[in-house]
Homo-oligomer: A and B are copies of this chain.
Amino acid sequence: MKIVDAAWLPSEAWRPIGSRRVRVTGSGALVDTVRDEIRAAGGSLDPDGDLVFTLGGDPDRLGEEGFEVDGDVVRAAAPHGLLHGLFHMLRGGTAGTQKPALARRMLDHWDNVDVHPVMGQVERGYSGGSLFWQDGEPRRDLTRVRAYARLLAASGINAVALNNVNVHATEAHLLTDRLGEVAELAGVFRRYGIRVHLSVSFAAPVHHGLGTADPLEDEVREWWSKATANVYATIPDFGGYLVKADSEGQPGPFSYGRSHADGANLLAAALAQYGGVVHWRAFVYNHRQDWRDRSVDRARAAYDHFTPLDGTFADNVVLQVKHGPLDFQPREPVSPLITALPGTRLAVEFQVTQEYTGQQRHVCYLAPMWSELLRGTGGPAIAEHAAELVAVANTGDDPFWTGHPLAQANLYAFGRLAWDPAADPLAVLDEWITLTFPAAPGLLRDTLHEIMDGSWRSYERYTAPLGVGFMVRPGHHYGPDVDGYEYTPWGTYHFADRDGVGVDRTVATGTGFAGQYPSPWSQTYESPGSCPDELALFFHHLPYGHVLHSGRTVIQHIYDTHFAGAREAAAMREAWRRVSGVVALDRYERVAALLDEQVRSAEEWRDQVNAYFFRKSGVPDWEGRRIY
Q: Which residues of A approach B to under 8 Å, CB–CB?
A: 117, 291-292, 480-484, 487, 496-499, 604, 607-608, 611-612, 614-618, 628
Contact = CB atoms under 8 A, between A and B. Distances in A.
B292 A607 contact: yes
A544 to B, nearest CB: 11
B481 A611 contact: no
B628 A498 contact: no
A604 B628 CA distance: 29
Nearest to A497: B615
Contacts of A618: 497-499
A483 B615 CA distance: 12
Contacts of A487: 480-481, 604, 607-608, 611-612
Contacts of A612: 483, 487
Nearest to A626: B292
Q: Copy number of this protein in the oligomer?
A: 2
Contacts of A614: 497
Given A482-B483, A487-B608, A608-B487, A498 B292 contact: no
A480 B488 CA distance: 10
Contacts of A481: 483-484, 487
Contacts of A604: 487
Contacts of A291: 628
A498 B608 contact: no
Overall SS of chain A's interface: loop
Given A480-B487, A482-B483, A616 B292 contact: no
Contacts of A615: 496-498, 616
A144 to B, nearest CB: 27
A498 B616 contact: yes
28 contacts: A117-B117, A291-B628, A292-B607, A292-B611, A292-B628, A480-B487, A481-B483, A481-B484, A481-B487, A482-B483, A483-B483, A483-B612, A484-B484, A487-B604, A487-B607, A487-B612, A496-B615, A497-B614, A497-B615, A497-B618, A498-B498, A498-B615, A498-B616, A498-B617, A498-B618, A499-B618, A615-B616, A616-B616
Contacts of A496: 615
A45 B480 CA distance: 69
A255 to B, nearest CB: 24
A562 to B, nearest CB: 14
A545 to B, nearest CB: 14
A482 B484 CA distance: 9
A288 to B, nearest CB: 12
- Among A480, A498, A616, A618, the one with the most B-chain Cβ atoms within 10 Å of its Cβ is A498
A269 B498 CA distance: 59
A495 to B, nearest CB: 8
A620 to B, nearest CB: 13
A497 B613 CA distance: 9
B616 A497 contact: yes
A618 B617 CA distance: 11
A498 B497 CA distance: 9
A496 B607 CA distance: 16
A628 B482 CA distance: 18
A78 to B, nearest CB: 50
Nearest to A603: B292
A42 to B, nearest CB: 48
- Among A487, A607, A615, the one with the most B-chain Cβ atoms within 10 Å of its Cβ is A487
Query: Which 8 A-B pairs rank lowest in CB-CB distance, beginning with the nearest?
Result: A497-B615, A483-B483, A292-B628, A487-B608, A498-B498, A498-B618, A117-B117, A498-B616
A616 B611 CA distance: 13
A604 B608 CA distance: 25
Contacts of A617: 498
Given A291-B628, A292-B607, A615-B616, 5 more contacts: A483-B483, A497-B614, A497-B615, A497-B618, A498-B616
A341 to B, nearest CB: 35
Contacts of A628: 291-292
Nearest to A627: B292
A211 to B, nearest CB: 29
Contacts of A292: 607, 611, 628
A481 B617 CA distance: 20
A482 B292 CA distance: 16
A118 to B, nearest CB: 9
Contacts of A611: 292, 487
A476 to B, nearest CB: 10
Nearest to A482: B483
A610 to B, nearest CB: 11
Nearest to A293: B628
A473 to B, nearest CB: 8
Nearest to A291: B628
A496 B484 CA distance: 16
Nearest to A488: B481
Contacts of A607: 292, 487
A480 B604 CA distance: 23
A67 to B, nearest CB: 51
Contacts of A497: 614-616, 618
